[in-house]
Amino acid sequence: MDPTCLDNLLAEEERRKFNEEGFLIVEDALPPAMIERLSGVLDRFYAERRAEGMKSHEAMFYPNFIGKDPAFFDLLDWPKTFPKVWDILGWNIFLYHAHCGVTPPIAPDAPRVRKTLGWHQDSGRVNVEMESHPRPRLSLKIAFFLSDVSEPGRGNFYVIPGSHLQDTLEKPADGASDPPGGMPVCVKPGTAVFFGRRLWHSASPNGSDVTRKVLFYGYGYRWIRTKDDMEIPKELFEQCDPIRKQILGAGLNCNGYFSPSEGDVPLYTWLKEHLGEEKVGSLRK
């Protein structure tokens, strides 16, 4: 990992925003050439799904994609974003879940009735079976936007700022409007949006003529089970450096997910070498 990434640690203002609002917008995380490259791969996935029978105007949800193109590996420890991940969660982390998606405009003749969006916190049963208030953070996702969602109505990602400490969300009885505070995240291509799994959020329909393209990278603690088949071809995995292998779930043995030794967490060793033991010790605990 290139040490110049240390220029992109979480700034205090960013930490405050993430802690208080539950999400964080990082503009210009991806340069135009990278956006184009990734966008081309998503176009290919979409064309493949269409050829397999997916209907036109249908939104494509595509998990298990990391192993499908080398460009996806570069985002695992992307210098503009990854330092902020370990600065929030610490070093005992991996990619527990990733998915990408293409949301084309809805069909011109589709009924445009307003419906309450699909508001949720991430991680399914975790929210039922874990007994604490507020719910534990556990993981976060980065949404890398490849298309222009700088205006509402383009299949934007919706959030309720500051809702991450709230265990329940009252949905309006009319079945049409959204809970107070719900807002579209309007950002340009190349923007990375970090959000903790507890933030109440939702996808939304795309009523514009701009197809939405986005990648979601979910990082969590190594003792969390994967939510993604994450089939990585052996030869591509072998080419990864030790930190990428950690991010992809490598470890010495099962005990090491809970009580890691340095061989389990090359990210820890790297941080110790580059930041010093004291700073690493102060990272999430």
Ligand X SMILES: O=C(O)CCC(=O)C(=O)O
Does 122 bind Fe ion (CB under 5 A)? Our answer is: yes
Residue among 68 and 120 whose Cβ is closer to ligand X: 120
Edge-to-edge strand ranges of the sheet holding 139-145: 23-26, 192-196, 139-145, 212-221, 93-103, 60-63
Nearer to Fe ion by Cβ, of 198 and 222: the residue is: 198
Give the residue ranges of DSSP H helices in the chain.
Answer: 12-21, 32-51, 70-76, 82-89, 126-129, 234-239, 242-247, 255-258, 266-275, 277-282
Per the structure block, which two tokens stand in for 268? 């820890």
- Kindly write out the interface string for residues 175-214 of this chain, putting x where it contacts ligand X by CB under 6 A and - elsewhere: --------------------------x-x-----------
Q: Which is nearer to Fe ion, 77 or 122 (CB)?
A: 122
The packing angle between helices 12-21 and 82-89, to 10°, is 60
Contact 154, 210 (CB under 8 A): yes
User: Closest distance between ligand X and the C-beta of residue 149, in Å?
Assistant: 9
How many residues in the shown chain lie near ligand X by CB under 6 A? 7
Q: Report the 10 Å Cβ neighbour count for 51.
A: 8
Residue 141 interface partner, choices ligand X, Fe ion, none, CB cut-off 5-8 Å depending on type: ligand X
**Tokens standing for residue 283:** 């990272």
Residue 41 or 98: the one with the smaller Cβ distance to ligand X is 98
Contact partner, 184, from Fe ion, ligand X, none, Cβ < 5-8 Å per class? none
Whether residue 134 contacts residue 166, with contact meaning beta carbons closer than 8 Å, is answered with yes
Q: Exposed, middle or buried, 176 (CB in 10 Å: 0-12/13-18/19+)?
A: exposed
Distance between CA atoms of residues 48 and 36, nearest Å: 18
Of all residues in the shown chain, the one whose CB is closest to ligand X is: 203
Rounded CA separation 158/118 (Å): 10
Residue nearest to Fe ion (CB): 122
Q: What residues between 128 and 167 interact with ligand X by CB under 6 A?
A: 141, 157
Of 121-129, 144-152, 236-244, 249-257: span binding Fe ion (CB under 5 A)? 121-129
By CB under 5 A, tell whether 96 contacts Fe ion.
no
* Shortest distance, position 47 Cβ to ligand X, whole Å: 20
Binding mask 95-134 for ligand X (x = CB under 6 A): ------x--------------------x------------
Structure tokens at 130: 């874990």
Comparing CB distances to ligand X, the nearer of 98 and 267 is: 98
Is 8 or 103 the residue whose CB approaches ligand X more closely?
A: 103
Residues 6+ apart with CB under 8 A from 260: 92, 222, 251, 268
Q: Which of 216, 217, 219, 257 binds ligand X (CB under 6 A)?
A: 216
**Which residues in this chain contact ligand X in the complex, by CB under 6 A?**
101, 122, 141, 157, 201, 203, 216
**Which residues in this chain contact Fe ion in the complex, by CB under 5 A?**
122
